[in-house]
Amino acid sequence: MALLGFACGTGDNAPGRHAAGTPAVGTYALSGFARSADNSFEPFTLVADARLRAVAATGAGILAWSHGDDTLRLYRRDGELAASWPLEAAAAWLSPELALTRGERYTVDGGFDFALHALDAEDGSRMLASWTLDCFPADLSFDGGGVLLAGADLADRAHTLRALEPDGTARALFEFPKQDDFARFIADGERVVVFASARIREKRALTGYLIRRDRSAAPSADEARLELNGLPEGALCWYGSGFLYEDRIWLPLAMSDGDTALAGFRLEGDALELEALVRGSLGVYAPLGASADGAAFRYLAYDHEREPGVWRLASFDGEAIIFDVLGAP
């Protein structure tokens, strides 16, 4: 399971989580503008289009990478351009300190070229490590000095969750079958909950996996499978991205009556126990993170089947959701 040229990004730049993979601050681009989900600055016009996960707030301002001209730019929070540097890539994902980039072509060596860069407000970017990976990114999260990356292989048969480290290590943490869906994950320290978001609403087995990053070897799908307790009647499939908020793991559901919902689980051992169900989530396209005071979690809501082209900023307090309609591309 999205910013405004329409920088809502699709494919590689659709967040998926992911989150799993949420920016440190809810800052995003939508239709050529940079906007903060927590109202910490007024929206301003970008020099060039930047996709959702290619924007990050830092102490020095707002970093944005343009997929149109391969340029990393630093904006002040009043929208004035402070500096710019070249950063050649086909796609990029930013945190305040790091950037992951992907090359344009799938090479004969068996994958895309990925690179991890350190970001500096004065010097721009510095490459830390690079890899060639058979991975079409679906979800990622900046994790300390590295990246958790989930995506499918070229054969479209398997999802793989990898840990990419600045020393050049790329470790496969988990692999599971792909079935017309997209890998999503939610990281909580050494534990990672993994699931697959269906491309369309349909009845399918609801499955979740628990990965422990401190394990020396990747578990099989059967070993990692979570017990799911309390699933609501009418739940069809996972549908969107999930997130961690108020000690609950919130997973997105498509319901048989056409609704979408957030299912709040508590992780107990190797089981997810349902504690809350909040209807009317409108699809979690991109988790943005908790508000500054922690009173709400914000995400971009989008449902490509029911309301194509309609984007909303959602504010969720654990019990109810408020939406702000952002407009269509």
pLDDT value of position 19:
35
Residue 309 belongs to a domain: yes
Residue 2 belongs to a domain: no
What is the average per-residue pLDDT within 157-185? Answer: 97
Residue 48 belongs to a domain: yes
Arithmetic mean of pLDDT over the chain: 89
pLDDT value of position 67:
87
Please choose, from the candidates 53, 164, 74, the residue with its C-alpha nearest in 3D space to the C-alpha of residue 173.
164
Q: What angle do CA 259, 262, 267 make, to 5 degrees?
A: 145
- Range of weakest confidence among 29-38, 126-135, 145-154: 29-38
- Range of weakest confidence among 1-5, 24-28, 100-104, 291-295: 1-5
What is the value of pTM for the model shown? 0.90
What is the average per-residue pLDDT within 212-240? Answer: 96
Domain extent, residue 178, equals 11-327
Residue 212 belongs to a domain: yes
**C-alpha to C-alpha distance for 110 and 89, rounded to whole angstroms:** 18
CATH of the domain at 178: 2.130.10.120
Residue 303 belongs to a domain: yes
pLDDT value of position 20:
34
Q: What is the number of structural domains in the chain?
A: 1
pLDDT value of position 55:
94
Q: What percent of the chain has pLDDT over 90?
A: 76
pLDDT value of position 122:
87
